[in-house]
Structure 1
Amino acid sequence: MANPTDDVLTIGAHSSFGKHEDRAYARGTCPSCGALQFIVIAVTKNRDRIWLRCISCKLAIAVNEGIASPAQKPLRVPAGLPGEEAKVWDEIRECLGVGAYTAAVMLCRKLLMHVAVAHGLPAKDGKDRAPNFTQCVDHLVVEGIVTKRMEPWIDRIREVGNEANHEISPVGKDAALDVATFTQKLLELAYEMDDTMVKADPNPEDATEDSTDETGAIGEPVRSINI
């Protein structure tokens, strides 16, 4: 029986490769801290299996035939999100990253309804009933968070969300990303704009310039990996 490590090259090991070689580094985006470079800890000889470690946060990543684990979370985190909203948005991005598209859409729909309540819509009516999706959308329009021009996107969430909730019909990647992208914009309008205004510095000459180079201290690697 073949040894499972027979075809594995490891950094610093005999007859493998050293940390000063170009092939010891790879470029991608860390799913944990967003850093752009990795050190290659080990790789199979045909390069279909790679073990990486983030140079910044030390996260370990396995790449099997081009599929990385943990997966990169798409989209971004709007500034100013309260704790609960931030947790749900992070879960939505995680769902997208691992291909759980139906779950991502259902959470987007739920988050939209939560944003409406957080911006003044009563959580219960006189009959102790929670608002439905249409009532939440109408409230967001009245409050000016969602404009008339954005209503077609709301319809998109309603359409895809209804399919996810009432039918056993998996949501595809494109539809899920459509819904999530709009949800990100909604969060930016509902929270990020106000947060930006609050943090605006009236004395910009006193602001400390961020001189961090996002490419890191190590030179340009020779290989890019989708992470």
Structure 2
Amino acid sequence: MRLFGSWDNTRTTSGISYHCGFCGTNAAPSAYYYCVSKSSTSSKTTARIYICPNCNKPTYKSESEQIPGFKFGHEVKHLPNDEVRELYKEARKCTSIGAFTSSVLACRKLLMNVAVSQGAEEGKSFVEYINFLESRGYIPPGGRTWVDEIRKHGNQATHEIEMKTKEQAEGIIVFTEMLLKFIFEFPASVTSTSSS
């Protein structure tokens, strides 16, 4: 849809908040730029640009969209290499633009990269990577359910026509985040605490 109108000077605001797609904070700007759509009978504010008070970057918001959108999930510390770190960031970033099927696929691929980062050989089947993680204790008690959800939804995204929903992608991000924290963040946190 083409937006007709002009961007005008700032207006002050209060009580407005949004999750910044750049820095992830819950931003509460004090002013915004606005786009006014004018017709022969009326004018209406149709979109706004807020400047995040935390990172000073702009976010476009209309009634139906926010650009950039909020990346679902949380950062995980102590990820072992660029491949694991970047795939997790990619999966989260996909949720911010509505690419939910791509987010699920990235999480599935991430499981293979995690296994290789922990010593599994490259070129194995997906099931072999899952078995490797489980046999080495990288999947917590009860965590096999998380891994099976990631596997199941990833397989569906790969082999079936049906697209993944926002809720499904966010659920897979949660499972992936918990697994990454169990394997990387929690052990590194204990190590750094005990050496202090």
Instruction: Provide the TM-score with structure 2 as the length reference.
Output: 0.83
Aligned partner of 1:29 in structure 2 is 19
Q: CA deviation at 1:148?
A: 4.7
Question: Could you tell me how far apart the structure 2 residues matched to 1:194 and 1:108 are?
Answer: 21
Aligned partner of 1:71 in structure 2 is 69
Is the Cα–Cα contact under 8 Å of residues 121 and 136 in structure 1 kept in the other structure?
yes
Determine whether 1:169 maps to 2:162.
yes
Partner SS, residue 113 of structure 1: helix
Summarize the Cα distance change of 1:186–1:38 in structure 2 as closer, same or farther, 3 Å threshold.
same
Alpha-carbon displacement from aligned partner over 1:14-65 (angstroms, at most 9, x marks no partner):
xxx4xxx5x2673222222233222433234745411111112111111011
Aligned partner of 1:96 in structure 2 is 95
Higher relative contact order (CA 8 A, sep 6+): 1
Question: Could you tell me how far apart the structure 2 residues matched to 1:103 and 1:151 are?
Answer: 22
Q: 1:136-155 counterparts in 2 under 5 A?
A: 136-155=129-148
Question: Could you tell me how far apart the structure 2 residues matched to 1:84 and 1:113 are?
Answer: 11
Bigger share in strand: 2
Q: CA deviation at 1:85?
A: 1.6
Q: 1:34-45 counterparts in 2 under 5 A?
A: 34-35=24-25, 36-43=27-34, 44=36
Q: CA deviation at 1:194?
A: 2.2
Q: CA deviation at 1:103?
A: 0.6
Aligned residues: 184
Determine whether 1:60 maps to 2:58.
yes
Is the Cα–Cα contact under 8 Å of residues 138 and 182 in structure 2 kept in the other structure?
yes
Instruction: Provide the TM-score with structure 1 as the length reference.
Output: 0.73
Partner SS, residue 63 of structure 1: strand
What is the letter of the counterpart of residue 86 of structure 2? K
Question: Could you tell me how far apart the structure 1 residues matched to 2:136 and 2:57 are?
Answer: 42
Alpha-carbon displacement from aligned partner over 1:125-169 (angstroms, at most 9, x marks no partner):
xxxxx1111111111111111035122222222221111111222
Determine whether 1:199 maps to 2:192.
yes
Question: Could you tell me how far apart the structure 1 residues matched to 2:99 and 2:32 are?
Answer: 29
Structure 1 vs Structure 2: percent identity of aligned residues?
26
Is the Cα–Cα contact under 8 Å of residues 48 and 66 in structure 1 kept in the other structure?
no
What is the letter of the counterpart of residue 4 of structure 1? G
Aligned partner of 1:4 in structure 2 is 5
Summarize the Cα distance change of 1:155–1:28 in structure 2 as closer, same or farther, 3 Å threshold.
same
Question: Could you tell me how far apart the structure 1 residues matched to 2:46 and 2:193 are?
Answer: 48
Summarize the Cα distance change of 1:189–1:27 in structure 2 as closer, same or farther, 3 Å threshold.
same
Is the Cα–Cα contact under 8 Å of residues 40 and 50 in structure 1 kept in the other structure?
no
